[in-house]
Chains A and B, each alone.
Chain A
Amino acid sequence: MLQSIPTDWVWGLIGGMLIGLGGAVYLLGNGRIMGASGIIGGLVDGSGRTAWKERAVFLAGVFLLPILLTPIYREVNTHATTNIAVLIAAGICVGIGTRLANGCTSGHGVCGISRLSLRGIVSTVFYIMAGGLTVVLFRHILGVI
């Protein structure tokens, strides 16, 4: 029975728990919500100027830990598209969208849903539906991605 569970799911669950643990440390330690778009966006548009060190150090952790893990662990091919137009369009949509919505997968998804925030739940429903429609349109109909 246990052997029939795909290893990707198990790693997903373990990795997910580490993500949640990170969010728990940020919340219980520093009293902050671990939302990646808010932490980055506050540095970009200057709204998070007062806590810039905390944000920068957090992002340094996000960036550095995978470097320590890459030599010992799992395939590192991210299979990202090499279509520059797609990458730029996607990045701009994610940048504007997460700031307009005040959150992304970590802020609205993980931190919002876990406290049953209506905004978090509604946002997650909309971005998953929009993502699904986008993949259907651009993969199965237009064949771009």
Chain B
Amino acid sequence: MQRLILAFLAGGLFGAGLFISGMTDTTKVQGWLDVFGNWDPTLAFVMGGAIIPMAVAWLFTKGRQPLVGGEFPAPADPKLGRNLVVGSVLFGAGWGLAGLCPGPAVASLSYGGWPHWVFFAAMLAGMAIAPAVRTSLDTAVPAE
């Protein structure tokens, strides 16, 4: 139960933060990416603001356990790999096209109107076929 309450609290803070920061406004995201247009640096403030408490949290994990018990995530994987790059490029293209990424896509469903539901449904479809895409990519062009 404690695990679920904390998950709801974390999700609530995330959703509230996305809403307040303006990151569900697609013009602010596309404005950040549009370096040759009317560039909008807001996203950098959001990222910076989010990284500060998160960096403190990572420092706090040293020699401790999560509140509900168990283990903290393993140290970051140093391996980069082809799928990381291909996936990030594909994600970035979609992000630029619509100005939405997974977090804001969920946060904006209640007030964004039908375009957000179309994007969300397409994103879920993409996630559903992703394992098959990964397999065929690895078969066609082995990573190593």
Contacts and interface: CB of A to CB of B under 8 A. Distances in A.
B97 A89 contact: yes
Interface of B is mostly: helix
A19 B21 contact: yes
Contacts of A99: 87, 126-127, 130-131, 134
Q: How large is the interface on A (under 10, 10 to 19, 20 to 34, 35 or more residues)?
A: 35 or more
Given A95-B123, A127-B89, A140-B36, A14 B49 contact: yes
Contacts of B6: 25-26, 29-30
Interface in B96-122: 96-103, 105-113, 115-116, 118-122
29 contacts: A15-B19, A16-B17, A19-B14, A27-B58, A45-B130, A54-B7, A61-B9, A61-B11, A65-B19, A77-B25, A79-B27, A87-B119, A92-B94, A94-B94, A97-B126, A98-B102, A100-B84, A100-B134, A101-B86, A111-B54, A116-B76, A119-B76, A119-B79, A124-B88, A127-B92, A130-B90, A131-B95, A132-B96, A135-B96
